[in-house]
């Protein structure tokens, strides 16, 4: 009996220190990334690993970090219009969208409810999948990001690591690959085209857009105007 108690005590102690190390490590990492550009993301590393072990076709993975000042404001507005129109107001979670997703579960298939903040948490630190563990960790990192970063930083990291095509990550890599120009000089139409493929960038094509992408691009352009264009994000982008 004493041996069992000793074993349980050691297990609980190991669990305590493991959880404490994770909490402190994740907090320090998120705080550091408020000022330091993340060198890569979990999704980019996973893509490299898939290629290395033959689980995905060999391809050149493109990514280049650029500061927000070198990204066209049109792209920032386009991704918000396409992915998360309440981004300036919410604190990481869109509970109305989550409620709708739960209501529609099993009726018309799964409905996306992830905010831009949640997508940053997932892309930067986690893995793809739908397990409760991953969703719990996503919520934890989302809370940390919203607490430690201003909205402008969240949006800056998002557009630098969003996937715009198979192996094409971030605004600069996408702008150079698809339009042979820098991210800072993207037009409204080009920005909307990039945002249009975000729901499934390996299925939809920026270079060869089908009817869905073209229709979604036009919808995003209309939403950009209705939201107020660049003035919609003026408050959160102010330094």
Indicate the pLDDT class of residue 230, thresholds 50, 70 and 90.
confident
In 84-170, which ranges are continuous DSSP H helix? 95-104, 116-125, 132-148, 151-161
Residue % of the chain over a pLDDT of 90? 72
| pLDDT tens per residue, range 32-50 | 999 999 999 999 999 988 8
- On whether the CB atoms of residues 58 and 52 are closer than 8 A, the answer is no
Residue 153 contacts by C-beta under 8 Å, 6 or more apart in sequence? 34
| pLDDT tens per residue, range 63-77 | 999 999 999 999 999
- Dihedral angle of Cα 239, 120, 51, 182, to the nearest 10 degrees: -30
Same domain as 9, residue 75:
no
Which residues form the domain of 10? Answer: 1-32
Same domain as 75, residue 23:
no
Residue 159 contacts by C-beta under 8 Å, 6 or more apart in sequence? 71, 75, 76, 79, 170, 171, 183
> Residue 102 has what pLDDT?
63
Same domain as 103, residue 26:
no
Same domain as 56, residue 8:
no
Q: What are phi and psi of 43, to 5 degrees?
A: -70, -40
Same domain as 134, residue 21:
no
Domain count along the chain: 2
> Residue 103 has what pLDDT?
59
């Amino acid at each position: 009996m004493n041996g069992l108690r000793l074993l349980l005590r050691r297990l609980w102690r190991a669990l305590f220190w493991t959880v404490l190390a994770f909490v402190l490590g994740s907090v320090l990492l998120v705080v550091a990334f408020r000022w330091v550009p993340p060198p890569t993301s979990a999704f980019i590393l996973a893509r490299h690993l898939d290629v290395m072990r033959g689980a995905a076709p060999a391809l050149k993975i493109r990514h280049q970090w650029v500061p927000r000042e070198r990204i066209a404001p049109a792209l920032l507005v386009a991704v918000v219009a396409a992915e998360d129109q309440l981004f300036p107001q919410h604190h990481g979670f869109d509970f109305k969208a989550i409620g709708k997703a739960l209501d529609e579960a099993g009726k018309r298939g799964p409905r996306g409810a992830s905010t831009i903040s949640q997508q940053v948490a997932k892309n930067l630190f986690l893995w793809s999948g739908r397990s409760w563990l991953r969703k719990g960790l996503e919520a934890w990192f989302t809370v940390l990001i919203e607490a430690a970063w201003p909205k402008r930083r969240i949006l800056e990291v998002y557009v630098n690591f969003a996937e715009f095509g198979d192996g094409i990550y971030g605004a600069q890599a996408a702008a150079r690959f698809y339009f042979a120009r820098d991210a800072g000089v993207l037009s409204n139409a080009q920005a909307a085209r990039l945002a249009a493929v975000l729901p499934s960038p390996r299925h939809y094509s920026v270079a060869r857009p089908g009817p869905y992408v073209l229709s979604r691009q036009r919808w995003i352009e209309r939403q950009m105007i209705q939201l107020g264009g660049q003035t919609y994000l003026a408050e959160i982008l102010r330094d």
